[in-house]
A and B are shown apart, each in its own frame.
Chain A
């Protein structure tokens, strides 16, 4: 199974500040079709996860440009700039390249 390792486990940030989350996979996430199926989700307290970024760097509909994704192969990063109160929650990376599909363990973003 592909292990998705997220760091850090928790993050404290000031409103208006910027931060980043790392996600590393135990195998390359490049699919045989040439795409890299690495996704980022935010789960706000008491809510379902919501998609932020798909295929490494594509922002989903309605996601502000404060969120950006980058990376390749096995090493990926989610950057959040100008942090706002609604950005707080748990962030997960996910790989949709290999079976079984797997998620990272999550990174909790809190206010400093």
Chain B
């Protein structure tokens, strides 16, 4: 069974940093692209970042480019999202996803507020 478990969320002040983790199980992690998608409270879905299966290439929308960094540790079956210079508009539930995306984690809440 594919499982994606996100951790690392919480309350953070504007301008500070936070790092999310996603531990994957139930599949061969290094065979798949992975991504992060977020959802602001009561709003729709927004793609945040993607990384190739090797980790050699990464992709971001303009809204987070230069502030967020996606990475992965294939030996540890773990995906990361380093978020710097956080803004109030980054407040959202962040989902770890596999592939298409075909599978989604349960999500982790990030609140950016003073």
Give residues in A with beta carbon < 8 Å to B: 1, 37, 39, 41, 48-51, 54, 60, 92, 94, 96, 99-106
Q: Is B59 an interface residue (CB 8 A)?
A: yes
- Pairs across A and B, CB under 8 Å, 11 listed: A37-B100, A39-B100, A54-B100, A92-B44, A96-B100, A99-B59, A101-B47, A101-B50, A103-B44, A105-B44, A106-B45
Which residues of B from 18 to 76 have beta carbons under 8 Å from A?
A: 35, 44-47, 50, 59-62
Q: How far is the CA of A48 from the CA of B106 in the complex (A)?
A: 6
| Complex: chain A residue closest to B46, CB-CB | A103
Q: How far is the CA of A106 from the CA of B105 in the complex (A)?
A: 20
Chain B residues, Cβ within 8 Å of A94: 45
Among B35, B44, B45, chain A packs the most CB atoms within 10 A around the CB of B45
A-B contact count (CB 8 A): 45
Chain B residues, Cβ within 8 Å of A105: 44
| A103-B107 contact in complex given A39-B100, A48-B95, C-beta closer than 8 Å | no
Q: Is B101 an interface residue (CB 8 A)?
A: yes
Shortest Cβ-Cβ A-B pairs, 8 listed: A100-B61, A101-B47, A48-B104, A103-B45, A106-B44, A51-B102, A105-B44, A54-B100
Are A49 and B104 closer than 8 Å at their CB atoms?
yes
Are A48 and B59 closer than 8 Å at their CB atoms?
no
Chain B residues, Cβ within 8 Å of A49: 45, 95, 104
